[in-house]
Amino acid sequence: MQPYTGLFALTLLAALSLPVWSADAVPAPLAASGDVAGHSAFQQAISPIIDGDWRAAQNRARDQYRHPAETLDFFEVRPDAAVIEITPGTGWYSEILAPLIGWHGSYTAAIPGGALGHEAENDQKLHDRFAADPKHFAAATIIEFDPKVPVLGKPESADIVLSFRNVHNWVKAGTEKAYFKAFYDVLRPGGILGIEDHRARPGSALDINSGYLPEDYVIKLATDAGFRLDASSEINANPRDTKDYPKGVWTLPPTLALGEQDKAKYLAIGESDRLTLRFVKVSPESLAAETAIRQAIADWDTGWRTFNADIVSQDYADDADWINAFGEVRKGRAQIHAYLAHGFASPEWLSRHSTPSTVSIRFVSPDIAVVSSSRQTVGQKSASGQPYPTRKTHDLRVFVHQNGRWEIVSHEIMDEKEARP
């Protein structure tokens, strides 16, 4: 007997707001206290900080390009997280992260030791900024690390590591692999790595002097270090960026490396097109669990496309909850199987074709996972023979590890509807 029946909707709402947990992780408390959605609480927390009068005017002017609220929300930053920001420069994001987190969690600005010239000046400005405004920065910490062999803290001590426009510098210095190893070492299992950087044209070769990086190159750096790509975002995209300038990315603002030459042109383009990637640290145990769940979804898709009720129903629990997009409810594997077998024998079902599911997995605990997926169906007809338009379908499943395997205990199928005018 599984104890989750009847709680499936609550489990979905709570779990979809949480970060990925590994099978052996102590959960990192990233959801805002008192708000299971997390997102709305985060917006409430960050809005007054984005508008804070302690932020430098020139920094606030760049919000239109850097989208700090949306970016930090995408990286699942929450006020009670242990966050490390790598090489924050003069503190553009520090002005937001330090007061956002305050004493609820921890904010650490990690800077490379032995910096010279411009970098040393930036580091000193950061120290001075924190010291001059204890109201907003007293809880913040600055640490130094060896840029050739970075160590960012005790192993598995951080919830989130963030890097904004740094990877291209590490690639040029040849230290990028050492950095990604350091990120993996300091993050707890299930922890998040957020990367933003200047994005090269798709399919372009690596050019270490341009400042732009191919997105697939950055993804490989992270996955080679043991991370899994969790999501990418176009929050910081700029389609006006042609990426073919005399001084590379530094031709654009805020640097404007050509000075007054064609300044208006480059200001009209704006800041660079940027990749925004969220990775998750996975352990071998959680990777095995995720692989098993993805295989179950793939099997379900195969059964759905081949009209095989045995395959579709094989991973449901004996007392699983199931509801389709038309509001029909079934209870348990046997009822689900009977319903599907009947449907698959009908001409209106046999006329349809579905795409494979796009899958996202969140572990609520080591033995519970919430899986959201989407697919499209074309060619389906109603019982009266009328064709349906293309269906954009979303599935929400709760998997529980029981009886020696991952079983679906709840499955809700929903069709996407056009927005009402």
pLDDT at res. 384: 72
Q: Where are the domains positioned within the chain?
A: 28-282, 286-415
- The percent of residues above 70 in pLDDT, for the chain, comes to 88
> Where is average pLDDT lowest: 84-98, 101-115, 245-259?
101-115
If you average pLDDT over residues 124-129, what whole number do you get?
92
> Where is average pLDDT lowest: 30-34, 71-75, 287-291?
30-34
Kindly indicate the confidence band of residue 9, based on its pLDDT and cuts at 50, 70 and 90. Answer: very low
Topology, domain 28-282: Rossmann fold (3.40.50)
Burial of 57 (0-12, 13-18, 19+ CB in 10 A): exposed
d(CA 360, CA 370): 8
Amino acid (one-letter) located at 37: A
- Cβ proximity of 325 and 393 under 8 Å: yes
- Tell me how long the chain is: 421
Nearest Cα residue to 272 out of 232, 238, 319, 317: 238
Does the structure show a pLDDT above 60 at 154?
yes
Does the structure show a pLDDT above 80 at 351?
no
Topology, domain 286-415: Nuclear Transport Factor 2; Chain: A, (3.10.450)
Kindly indicate the confidence band of residue 39, based on its pLDDT and cuts at 50, 70 and 90. Answer: low
Contacts of 27 (CB under 8 A, 6+ apart): 18, 21, 190, 365
- State the DSSP H helix or E strand holding residue 50, giving kind and residue range, or none if neither: helix 39-50
Q: What digits encode the pLDDT tens for the residues 308-344? A: 999 999 999 999 999 998 899 999 999 999 999 998 9
pLDDT at res. 381: 66
Residue 255 tokens, joined:
């640097």
Does the structure show a pLDDT above 80 at 198?
yes
